[in-house]
Amino acid sequence: RALAALARGEPDWWADYKPPEAVIDKMHEMQARRPDLVEIFEIGRTWQDRPILAMRITAPRADGSPCRPAVLLNSVQHAREWISVMVNMWVAESLVANYGADPYYTDLVDRVEWIFVPVVNPDGYAFTWTNNRYWRKNRRPAPTPNGRIGVDLNRNWGHMWGFGSGASTNPGSDTYMGPSAFSEPETAAMRDFALATPQLRAHNDMHSYSEMVLFPWGWTGLASPDHGTFSLLGDEMADRIRDYRGRSYSVGPIYTTIYPVSGGSVDYFYGDRGVWSFSYELYGNSFNPSPAQIRPNAEETLSATLLLGEFVADRYTFRADVNRDCVHNFYDVRDFIRLYGEGDPAADYDASGAADFLDFAAFIQDFIERR
């Protein structure tokens, strides 16, 4: 059931690539169709004052119910990678179209907060539709009349920004890292949104092309502290892709699997925010693949992408978030001790019928594990 379900809304929408306005229209169409599930909001604006739009898909949450773990899916940091927008939007459409009709999708929307930023780089993406199909960077104004325009957004994040060989200091380079970490309004907006979303637990930054499932680190060849779990998840994602129609994706850390990347989003989300962060390099043989490749890419990666939702739904229940602010901190411990001391039924953590030491022990264990 985790294989691709044909989107019921507009099946022809994926027959060809879509310009910026059409992507925005599709987001609003999904919201109009399921206003109970879909929320569209702005997280920032670009150098050219375009909005950076996000879309949240999750079932309504009753007052006082636990927070849900969030999964963030973004695409088009690199403007020319059009197919990543379509794959991102396919996931969103699949969740919306199948909610209430398929128990698997319904469960994922009930238990997980899905957040989509289909176009992180609106200025660059618009430029590829009007001026230069292969433009990669954003459209940061040149510092001098004879200067070079643009910063590679995926070299501008704060974790190990400018470290080693994974980015360029040359403004003319396609991997120019910018004058400082988070100097660009696009990366700053994404950072600020991440900081304002404490329930964020997983992330996928979609790119093309090379057929890869990538994870930290990008800045160094050393293994991350969670290399084992990343490898297990990455292998399962690749297995699900292979199971669909036999395509094989390579799996591994960014640095050793594709090339060094310093100041990348995956390292930031994992290294600074503690989020399980991955990146696709979708299949194809160029940055301008035939529109006929849109559906195969979207269909074969859907199950792998949804695996992140399955993983966080089972792992992060926010049971120990006593005050329901989506953060595990001292205030939750304080509030639980107060409830426990008062013999409040809410302190019956294990639902045994009485608040006792076993409840306190269970709470502390979940709090330590941030469940």
From CA 262, how far away is CA 255, in angstroms rounded? 9
Are 255 and 217 within 8 A, CB to CB?
Answer: yes
Enumerate the H helices of the chain as residue ranges. 20-33, 82-98, 103-111, 122-130, 185-195, 227-245, 254-257, 265-271, 294-315, 330-341, 357-368
Assigned token pair, 74: 């973004």
Are 248 and 210 within 8 A, CB to CB?
Answer: no
From CA 88, how far away is CA 73, in angstroms rounded? 7
Does the annotation count 281 as an active-site position? yes
Are 138 and 177 within 8 A, CB to CB?
Answer: no
Residue partners of 138: CB distance under 8 A and separation at least 6: 46, 47, 79, 121, 123, 124, 150, 151, 153, 184, 186
DSSP helix/strand/coil, 122? helix
Cα dihedral 120, 126, 129, 131, rounded to 10, equals: -120
Strands (E), 109-228: 113-117, 200-208, 212-215
What does the DSSP assignment read for 12-74? GGGGS---HHHHHHHHHHHHHH-TTTEEEEEEEE-TT--EEEEEEE-----TTPPP--EEEEE
In the set 93, 186, 281, 300, the catalytic residue is 281
From CA 340, how far away is CA 355, in angstroms rounded? 7
Closest CA to 317 of 199, 194, 195: 199
Residue whose entry in the numeric block shows the structure tokens 């909610």: 99
Mind telling me the catalytic residues?
281
